[in-house]
Amino acid sequence: MAYGAVGCLELTTERLLKSSHISIVQNSSPQIINLLYDEILSLKEALREFNTRRSTINMKMVKTLEAQIIDVVYEFEDVFDSHLANQLYSQSEEETGDPPLMLFSVDLQEIKQDVDSFVERMNKMKKAYIHELCNPSPEEDDCVGPSSRIDFGGNDDYNMVGLSDIFTEIKDLSRWSGWRALVRPLLPRNSFKIHSLFLRYLIVPDDLWDVELYFDLTEFFPDDNNGSRVLLTTRTEEVGYCASMWRDYNLRFLDKKESWELLRHKVFGEEEPCSYELEKAGKKIAENCEGLPLTIITIANILSKADKTIEYWNEVADDKRNSVYKDAYEQMSKVLYPSYDYLEQHLKAFFLYLGAFPKNYSVYGYQMVNLCGAEGFLNPDPIATFENNSYGYLNELCFKNVIMSAKEERGFHLHSSFWYLCNKEAPKNNFYYALNFCADALQEEVPLPLEHLRLLRVLEARIRLYEFPLDVVQLFQLRYLVLTYDGDLPPSISKLSNLQQLIVGRYCIVNYVDNVVYLPIEIWNMKELEYLQCVERDLPHPCEGSLLPKLLQLIGVEFKSYYLLRVFDHISNLHQLQTLQCDIVNPIWKTKVVTAPLAPLSDLPSSLTKLILKGSGYPWEEMRKISSLTKLKYLTLSLYAFRGPKWKVHDCEFQSFEFLHIEDADRVQWKFVSTNLCLPAIKYFRIVHCYKLKDIPLKFGTSLLNIRVVNCNPMAMNWATKLKEWDDNYGDGKRSLTVDIRSSL
Give 10-residue mean pLDDT values along the chain (745 residues): 90 86 76 90 92 83 92 93 86 63 79 93 94 85 53 52 49 53 49 52 82 78 77 86 74 94 93 89 96 96 93 94 95 94 91 93 88 83 50 88 79 94 92 66 55 84 86 90 90 90 79 65 88 83 77 80 59 87 63 58 89 88 90 93 87 86 88 76 90 79 86 87 82 78 81
Asked if 296 and 254 touch (Cβ cutoff 8 Å), the reply is: yes
Quick one: 356 and 308 in the same domain? no
**Rounded Cα gap, residues 519 and 688, in angstroms:** 33
Q: Is residue 387 part of a domain?
A: yes
Quick one: 141 and 226 in the same domain? no
The whole-number pLDDT of residue 596 equals 52
Asked if 371 and 28 touch (Cβ cutoff 8 Å), the reply is: no
Instruction: State how many domains the chain has.
Output: 5
**Rounded Cα gap, residues 282 and 106, in angstroms:** 63
- Quick one: which of 511, 507, 521, 618 has its CA closest to 558? 511
Spacing of C-alpha 718 from chain mean position: 37
> Largest Cα–Cα distance in the chain?
89
Q: Is residue 397 part of a domain?
A: yes
**Rounded Cα gap, residues 540 and 543, in angstroms:** 9
Quick one: 735 and 691 in the same domain? yes
Strand partners, 585: 560
Q: Pick from 446, 474, 505: which residue ends a domain?
A: 446
**Rounded Cα gap, residues 567 and 598, in angstroms:** 8
Quick one: 135 and 23 in the same domain? yes
Quick one: 31 and 129 in the same domain? yes
Q: What's the number of CA atoms in the CB half-sphere (13 Å) around residue 170?
A: 14
Q: Pick from 89, 123, 148: which residue ends a domain?
A: 148
The whole-number pLDDT of residue 147 equals 56
Quick one: 286 and 351 in the same domain? no
**Rounded Cα gap, residues 606 and 617, in angstroms:** 22
Helices marked H in 54-178: 59-94, 112-134, 164-167
Q: Is residue 299 part of a domain?
A: yes
Quick one: 219 and 289 in the same domain? no
**Rounded Cα gap, residues 424 and 586, in angstroms:** 51
Asked if 530 and 550 touch (Cβ cutoff 8 Å), the reply is: yes
**At 740, is the secondary structure helix, strand, or coil?**
strand
Asked if 675 and 650 touch (Cβ cutoff 8 Å), the reply is: no
Q: Is residue 555 part of a domain?
A: no
135: burial class by Cβ within 10 Å (0-12, 13-18, 19+)? exposed
Find out whether the peptide bond into 540 is cis, omega within 30 degrees of 0.
Answer: no
Quick one: 120 and 35 in the same domain? yes
CATH number for position 374: 1.10.10
The whole-number pLDDT of residue 226 equals 77
**At 695, is the secondary structure helix, strand, or coil?**
strand
Q: Is residue 296 part of a domain?
A: yes
Q: Is residue 451 part of a domain?
A: no
The 10 Å Cβ neighbour count of residue 387 is: 19
**At 593, is the secondary structure helix, strand, or coil?**
coil
CATH number for position 48: 1.20.5.4130
Cβ contacts of 493 within 8 Å, gap of 6 or more = 473, 502, 520, 522, 523, 526
Quick one: 260 and 202 in the same domain? no
Residue type, 294: L
For the chain, first and last CA: distance in Å? 53
330: burial class by Cβ within 10 Å (0-12, 13-18, 19+)? middle
591: burial class by Cβ within 10 Å (0-12, 13-18, 19+)? exposed
Q: Is residue 113 part of a domain?
A: yes
The continuous run of DSSP H or E covering 395 comes out as helix 386-399
The whole-number pLDDT of residue 171 equals 47
Cβ contacts of 108 within 8 Å, gap of 6 or more = 24, 25, 28, 29, 30, 32, 33, 83, 115
The 10 Å Cβ neighbour count of residue 101 is: 14
Q: Is residue 543 part of a domain?
A: no
Query: In terms of residue numbers, what domain contains 377?
Result: 347-446
Quick one: 144 and 179 in the same domain? no
Quick one: 40 and 78 in the same domain? yes
Quick one: 184 and 90 in the same domain? no
Find out whether the peptide bond into 99 is cis, omega within 30 degrees of 0.
Answer: yes
